[in-house]
Each structure stands twice: as C-alpha cells, then as structure tokens.
Amino acid sequence: MSVRQISVFLENARGRLAQVTQTLAREKINIRALSLADTSDFGVLRIIVNNPDRCLTVLKAGGFVAQVTEVIAVEVEDAPGGLARILEVLDQDNVNVEYMYAYVEKSRDNAIVICRIDDRERALQVLEKNGITTLGADALKAL
Amino acid sequence: MIWSPDYETLDAPALARVQGERLGRLVDVLYRRVPFYRKKMEKAAVGPQDIQGIGDIQRLPFTTKDEMRDVYPYGLLAVDLRDIVEIHTSSGTTGKPVVDAYTAADIDIWSEAMARTLSSGGTTRHDIVQNAYGYGLFTGGLGVHYGARRIGATVIPISGGNTKRQLAVLRDFKSTILTCTPSYSLFLAEAAQEDGLDLGGLGLKAGFFGAEPWSESMRTEIEGKLKLLSIDIYGLTEIIGPGVAMECECHEGMHVNEDHFFPEVIDPATGAVLPDGQKGELVITTLTKDGTPVLRYRTRDITYLDHRPCACGRTTVRMHRVLGRTDDMLIIRGVNVFPSQIEEVILGVEGVEPHYQLVVDRREQLDELEVQVEMNDAVFSDEIRNLEQVERKIEAELYAALNIHTRVRLVEPRTIARSEGKARRIIDKRTLEEAHG
C-alpha cells in the first residue's frame, strides 16, 4: 500500500518555510510527517498531510511549485535493529531507497518510516514477502 | 499580404535609384537647415555635392544617441516648429531623452510603414486590433494605432497594463490581432490560465511583438500558448518608432522598409560597413522624414543583413532579429555574450520556461555569471539529485554553446521581476559598485 506525499520547492530564503506552514495552517491542514532536504540554493520540503489533494491545491494557489509523490509507509519495530532489518531485506532484493524519514505517530508499538522508492511495486512485494507491514492512507489517518 | 507592392517589391536598381534621390534631397536639407548636421558634415569634409547615389552614404558621418541628447530638445529640427504636429521622445531612462518631432507628412510615412507591418502578419480591415503597447510619449501605442487606422482595421486602444481588463476585452470583443511586448504576451497567457481562460481558443490570428529582444524558442512558447502567428517587429524612437522593419510569414528575418529607412551594418569598433551575413551594429538613415531626420544613426543593436530574395515576394533587405545591444553585451572573463544567446540555450532545455535572470558579479577579480531560472511543474522533482541535474545540465549546455562557465540556480516561480513592459534580464553588480564608488 502506498501513501501520497506532497513535495514543495523552496528557495533558501528567509521565511519561505514559514509561509508554507502558515498557508497550511490557515486551511486547517495538519502535517503528520515532514522532511526537508536542501542544498545551498534551494530545498525540497516533503510532507505527509491529512488531506493531500486540498494541500496541493492551496499550495499551488499560493504560488508554490508542488507535486504529489507516492511513497510507502512501513511499520518498523521500535527497537534496536528494527530499521536495519527492513533495509537489509530491501537491499537483498536490490531495491534502492531514495530517501526516508520518520512518521510522527506510532502504529501499536511500532514506529513508522516513510520511504521513497523508485520501483515501488517491487518494494511492496519484497516487504510483504518478508512479513513487513505497510500502511495505507486510511490506516495512517486512523492513528 | 503586401501593403505597398510598388515599393516593397521593387527590383534592386530601381530601389537604389529611389534611395539615392531621397538621400540627395535629405543631405541637401540637413546641410542647409540643421546646424548640428552641417557642422558634422564640415568636419567630415563632405557636402551635398558629394552625394550622387545611395552608395555615397558611406562618406557621411555617423550620429550617436549622445550627440542627439546634446541638442535636446529642438536641435534636430529641420522644419519650423509650427509644422510639427506631434512629438514623441525616448524613455530617457539613461539620460536626457531623444526627441522625435513629426510633421503631418511624417505621420503619413509612419502610418504607411505600420500598415505594411501589420499587413505582413495578415491584418485587414476586417480585423480587431487589441493594441496593448503603451500610448503616450512612447512610440509603440500610436505607431500601431496609425497603421491599423491606415488599413481600416478596428483599433482597441487599450494601452499597456491592466491585465484583467486585457483578458476581458480579448474575450468580449473577440480581438483578432494582439500587439504588445513578447514578454507581456506570455504574462497575459499565464494570467489567462490562472483565470481558467483558454487564450488559444479565443480567435487571435496574429500578434505583433516588439520593443524588446526575443528568441526563436520564445516564439515557440508564445505561438504554443496563444495559438497565433507571431511577427517580430522592429523600430526605435530615434528613427520613427515601430515600422522600421517587420517579419513576414516566412519568419526568416525582418524586412526593412528601406525606401524610407536605409540600413547598414558596421563594425562598431572601426565604423567599416560590413557585408551581408556579418554581425555588427545596425545603422539607419531616415530617407524621407521631414521633422527630425537622422543621418546614419548608430542604433547599438547587433544584427546582420540579408539581401537574398524572400519567398514572400518582398525584395526589401532583411535584418536578422536583434541579437543584442552593443551596450548590453556582457563581457564575461573576456568572452562576449549576448543575453539572447543565453536565452536560446536555456529554452533548449526541456521543460524550462523563458523566465530567467542573469546576475553578473565579480569575485576576487573574476567575473561570475549566475543564471537564475524559474522552477516550474515540468522540471520539479521531489529528489534533490534530479533538481541538481537540471542545474548541471543547463550549465553544461551553456558551456558547450558559449564557452563560458556559469552558475545556474533554480529559483521559485515569479521571483524574477516580470514587469508588464520589458522584462528585466540582467543585473550587473559590477557596474553598480563602480557607480556607487
């Protein structure tokens, strides 16, 4: 199962991130997970929100360049070696993770990690084969 | 469509005869009536008796913008002020403006030149011309106005700016011809898109775009978004305004209305006249103007000429679209670069739009050129790696094409000032610092 992530282009200029978060706050959009990758010139903000369609619309209306990317939300045992195991499984099947970041909440006792993987279908197969749970949008929302 | 076949399709010897006669008369008038020109001719040891044909134009002195400013406001008048019916001036952003004073006969010539211009893109008396060039001292608005009136088309003198109203008029009045700067046409297309209006579906036939340099790739963009025939037009206040030259439907250079405005291309350093195909500074002489005629005006625009016949049937010489300005020319670590060349390269990169800005700076005695390119949906990726690849790709292509190292930086959309008139493309911090010092 995959989840829709919103990515936003940001110049490295003072106050730009605040403008994004203010725009979302005004529209009552809640950020559930966040990652910011940057170079010296620009950054890309990646967020998981409660309402991705609405989020994309308001950001575009606000003049931001934004897009939707399908990512995977993986349950990770909240113990030493939990993440290592998942990466090992993916690595064994030559599935390359582009980037990953942690989700705010937990699912039962497990942590949740958001993974961006180019070959998403194969990654899902590999994870399933190894008994690793992935969560869909509804499951995330229910937490 | 050719408005004046009698002149626009003259064979070369007949055209040269007309030009020679007109030049002889012009030099005679200037020598007798305008001290400014008489002094210049005396200094160059040339007079009316030396002008036997158009070829003798090379014996005459050049006129520069600075010289014209020195005699502001009326020093260039060749008639009594009571015979002047209208005055325009250049913007004067870089100093005193240059004055162009028109007699009734000059307005007639201007109308004729602009009727030829608008006809070259198919404008007829059945058309509705939405004229979004500024009306006022700027020559763009009234130049188009007079040409459209001469043809008998309907003119909507909406002038520049007020984008909402431009779109409403386009939609409601069903304008078929749009006249404005090329960057404003894209600005309109963007604004229309935001309003959910399909600019390409409104019935626009042709657009006449001038007053700033643009490129073939920008044409593709404009024609794609506005779905019309785009015509590049050329003119300058110092000569008459728009109407000096215009493209035909072949899009292979701009036909110069050379029975009125005689073009030469010179080496800007030596003043030597260059043959067809060689790039240099455009020089224009007004052969027929009465009010403020101009002898061998150095336009500072870089182009080259082409006398070969054109498929459209016109025999008039063509000038290549303006490649740059002698004074806009950037010298980056000793390499001459025109912004138009950089634009060509940027627009050749897939997905990138023509919104860019050049920032020149000097660090540790070395010139650095930063090229800021606006991000858009087509180029954006959630992966930094892909974005950096776009930057590196543009840098590599700029190096391949121009042999200069640049630093390309992706910026957020609309961060580059997009005025409703001319887009500001170059920020040269080198000169700014000198000016402040």
Verify that A115 and A51 share a domain, yes or no.
Answer: no
CATH number, residue A104: 3.30.70.260
CB contact (8 A) between residue B412 and residue A9: yes
Cβ atoms of B129 and B208 within 8 Å: the answer is: no
pTM score of the predicted model: 0.67
Query: What pLDDT, on a 0 to 100 scale, did the predictor assign at position B423?
Result: 54
Q: Which of residues 75-134 of A touch B (CB under 8 A)?
A: 98-99, 116
Taking the Cβ of residue A11 and every Cβ of chain B, the question of whether any pair is shorter than 8 Å is answered with yes
CATH number, residue B406: 3.30.300.30
Instruction: Tell me which residue range forms the domain holding A125.
Output: 70-142
Verify that B317 and B248 share a domain, yes or no.
Answer: yes
Residue that finishes a domain, picked among A48, A69, A90: A69
Verify that A77 and A103 share a domain, yes or no.
Answer: yes
Cβ atoms of B137 and B129 within 8 Å: the answer is: no
Mean local confidence (pLDDT), A47-61 = 94
Verify that B279 and B412 share a domain, yes or no.
Answer: no
Verify that B213 and B236 share a domain, yes or no.
Answer: yes
Residues B207 and B194: their CA atoms lie apart, in Å, by: 21
Sign, CA dihedral B124-B125-B129-B133, equals: positive
DSSP-based three-state secondary structure for B316:
coil
Verify that B388 and B306 share a domain, yes or no.
Answer: no
Verify that B5 and B139 share a domain, yes or no.
Answer: yes
CB contact (8 A) between residue B377 and residue A41: no
Residue type at A41? D
CA A76: distance to chain centroid? 14
Verify that A106 and A126 share a domain, yes or no.
Answer: yes
| H-run or E-run covering A92 | helix A82-92
Verify that A60 and A113 share a domain, yes or no.
Answer: no
Verify that B205 and B262 share a domain, yes or no.
Answer: yes
Q: Which of A49, A66, A48 has its CA nearest to residue A57?
A: A66
- Distances from the Cα of B379 to the Cα of A70, B340, B373, angstroms: 18, 22, 11
Residue that finishes a domain, picked among B326, B359, B394: B326
Q: B409 to chain A: nearest residue by CA?
A: A41
**Hey, which bits of B304-376 come out as E strands?**
305-306, 318-319, 324-325, 330-332, 335-337, 356-363, 366-374
Contacts of B289 by beta carbon, 8 Å cutoff, 6+ apart = B102, B106, B109, B240, B260
Contact residues on chain B for A8, CB-CB shorter than 8 A: none
Q: Which two tokens stand for residue A49?
A: 């929100």
Query: What pLDDT, on a 0 to 100 scale, did the predictor assign at position B213?
Result: 76
Residues B264 and B280: their CA atoms lie apart, in Å, by: 9
Residue with tokens 């990654």: A123
Verify that A77 and A62 share a domain, yes or no.
Answer: no
Cβ atoms of A67 and A47 within 8 Å: the answer is: no
Verify that B244 and B269 share a domain, yes or no.
Answer: yes
Q: What residues pair up with A101 in beta bridges, in sequence order?
A: A114
Verify that B400 and B284 share a domain, yes or no.
Answer: no
Verify that A74 and A92 share a domain, yes or no.
Answer: yes
Verify that A102 and A92 share a domain, yes or no.
Answer: yes
CB contact (8 A) between residue B384 and residue A37: yes
Exposure on the CB side of residue B230, measured as CA atoms within 13 A: 24
Residue that finishes a domain, picked among B308, B326, B344: B326
**Hey, which bits of A1-143 come out as E strands?**
3-11, 31-38, 42-49, 66-77, 97-102, 110-117, 134-135
Query: What pLDDT, on a 0 to 100 scale, did the predictor assign at position B402?
Result: 83
Verify that A74 and A48 share a domain, yes or no.
Answer: no
Q: Identify residues of B whose CB sits under 8 angstroms from chain A CBs.
A: 375-377, 380-384, 387-388, 409-415
- Give the minimum alpha-carbon distance from B412 to chain A in angstroms, rounded to a whole number: 6
- Distances from the Cα of A65 to the Cα of A45, A62, A69, B65, angstroms: 11, 9, 13, 44
CB contact (8 A) between residue B410 and residue A10: no
Verify that B344 and B204 share a domain, yes or no.
Answer: no
Q: Which of residues 12-51 of A touch B (CB under 8 A)?
A: 16, 37-39, 41-42, 44, 46
Verify that B12 and B129 share a domain, yes or no.
Answer: yes
Mean pLDDT of chain A: 91
- Give the minimum alpha-carbon distance from B347 to chain A in angstroms, rounded to a whole number: 19
Contact residues on chain B for A66, CB-CB shorter than 8 A: 380
Q: Which two tokens stand for residue B239?
A: 């000569």
Exposure on the CB side of residue B377, measured as CA atoms within 13 A: 9
Residue that finishes a domain, picked among A69, A87, A109: A69
Q: What is the ipTM of this complex?
A: 0.87
CATH number, residue A20: 3.30.2130.10
**Number of folded domains in chain A?**
2
CB contact (8 A) between residue A65 and residue B375: yes
- From B377, B411, B414, residue closest to A67, measured CB to CB: B377
Residues B126 and A121: their CA atoms lie apart, in Å, by: 59
CA B349: distance to chain centroid? 25
For chain B, what's the residue count?
Answer: 437
Verify that B322 and B335 share a domain, yes or no.
Answer: no
Read out DSSP for A112-126? EEEEEESSHHHHHHH
DSSP label at residue B244 = E
Return the axis-axis angle of helices A52-61 and A16-26, rounded to nearest 10°. Answer: 120
Q: What is the pLDDT of residues A108-141, one digit of tens each?
A: 789 999 999 989 999 999 999 999 999 988 888 7
For chain A, what's the residue count?
Answer: 143
Verify that B209 and B229 share a domain, yes or no.
Answer: yes
Q: Which two tokens stand for residue B291?
A: 């009010």
Q: What residues pair up with B306 in beta bridges, in sequence order?
A: B318
CB contact (8 A) between residue B382 and residue A5: yes
Residue with tokens 């404005």: B180
Verify that A82 and A133 share a domain, yes or no.
Answer: yes
Contacts of B180 by beta carbon, 8 Å cutoff, 6+ apart = B132, B133, B160, B188, B207, B209
Residue that finishes a domain, picked among B326, B342, B375: B326
Alpha helices in B161-278 (DSSP H): 163-173, 182-194, 216-226
CATH number, residue B250: 3.40.50.12780
Instruction: Tell me which residue range forms the domain holding B111.
Output: 1-326
Verify that A40 and A93 share a domain, yes or no.
Answer: no
Q: Which two tokens stand for residue B430?
A: 């080198």
Rounded to the nearest 5 degrees, what angle is found at the Cα of B57, between the Cα atoms of B55 and B61? 155
Verify that A46 and A58 share a domain, yes or no.
Answer: yes
- Give the minimum alpha-carbon distance from A52 to chain B in angstroms, rounded to a whole number: 15
**Number of folded domains in chain B?**
2
pLDDT per residue rounded down to tens, chain B (437 residues): 999 999 999 999 999 999 999 999 999 999 999 999 999 999 999 999 999 999 999 999 999 999 999 999 999 999 999 999 999 998 876 678 999 999 999 999 999 999 999 999 999 999 999 999 999 999 999 999 999 999 999 999 999 989 999 999 999 999 999 999 998 999 999 999 999 998 888 999 999 999 887 888 889 999 999 999 999 999 999 999 999 999 999 999 999 999 999 999 998 878 999 999 998 999 999 999 999 999 999 999 999 999 999 999 999 999 999 887 786 777 777 676 777 778 888 888 888 877 888 898 887 777 889 999 998 888 999 999 999 999 999 999 999 988 888 999 999 887 666 554 445 677 877 754 443 33
